[in-house]
Structure 1
Amino acid sequence: MTAEQTFPLCASTDLENGGIAVPFDVVYYGQSCRAFAVRYQGVAHAYLNRCTHVPMEMDYQPGRIFDDTGQWLLCATHGAAYQPDTGRCAGGPCRGGLVKIALSERDGVVHWHAAQHLQPVAF
């Protein structure tokens, strides 16, 4: 598999600014992991659903990763805050930033891009 391969994730309209995340599964360095896609300021972004403070999923309810203002991605367990457009730590107990997953949008569909260390889950 090459870095150029893309996989359909969801309809572009499924991602609303500051809204519910769309979850998906990936294999990251040989481990199955949850990931999520969100929209922030009109642009779709995706990350591994893994807090850098303690590697656990960040959402307190499925897809609920934004804070109440829709401006920060929050780890519900420890309160670490991340910038939605870069994944960089913005405050709280985090170590570095979230693992970003490349996305693209075309013809009303959001696609995620595979990489050497990031592959689709085999069915």
Structure 2
Amino acid sequence: MTSYGLKVALCNSGDLLDGGDAVPFDVVYAGQTCRAFAIRFRGVPHAYLNRCTHVAMEMDYQPNRFFDDTGNWLLCATHGAAYQPTTGACAGGPCRGGLVKIALTESDGVVHWHTDHPLQPVEF
């Protein structure tokens, strides 16, 4: 079992619906406060920095909306880069690598994020 140290309650498990709206939160990345988002895909919560790898800007086309119409891909609204919801890896479009993944765990009806676990960009 991996220990991530300090964990912070992010939301209730029921706040994340498969393919639904994300729950936004702030993280410190490269010395700056940045927006991040948590989603649920196929029953599992995932979180990423809200920054497209094509152009470093937030991805949501409407507040907290990241999934395409099929609910299978995370999309950047500006240029159409697509990412895999489970890994953040580039799935198509003008991506330059994968999204920066944020460690989450879920227990007792609560999703937690781990503040001292280093944020890692996903390799492609």
Structure 1 pair 14–50 and aligned structure 2 pair: CA distance change class (3 A): same
Q: What secondary structure, in the 3-state scheme, does the structure 1 residue paired with 2:57 have?
A: coil
Q: Which residue number in structure 2 is paired with residue 60 of structure 1? A: 61
Return the offset for 1:4: 1.1
Aligned counterpart, 2:11: 10
Distance (whole Å) between structure 1 residues aligned to residue 11 and residue 58 of structure 2: 21
Greater RCO (Cα-Cα under 8 Å, separation 6 or more): 1
Unaligned runs of 5+ in 2: 120-124
List per-residue Cα deviations over 1:10-61 (Å, max 9, x = no partner): 0000000010010001111210100000000100000000000000000011
Matched residue, 1:27? 28
Would the aligned equivalents of 1:53 and 1:93 in 2 still touch at CA under 8 Å?
yes
Separation (CA, whole Å) in 2 of partners of 1:116 and 1:103: 10
Q: After TM superposition, where is structure 1 displaced by more than 4 Å over at least 4 residues in a row?
A: none
SS at match of 1:115: coil
In the TM superposition, what is the alpha-carbon distance from 1:115 to its structure 2 partner? 2.8
Distance 1:111 1:13 in 2: 13
Contact 1:29-1:117 at 8 Å conserved across structures:
no
When normalised by structure 2's length, the TM-score is 0.90
In the comparison of the two structures, how many residue pairs are matched?
A: 117
Q: Considering only aligned residues, what root-mean-square deviation do their CA atoms show, in Å?
A: 1.4
Counterpart AA for 1:68: D
Identity of aligned residues (%): 75
Q: TM-score, normalised by structure 1?
A: 0.91
Distance in 1 separating the partners of 2:44 and 2:90: 19
Match of 1:121 in 2: none
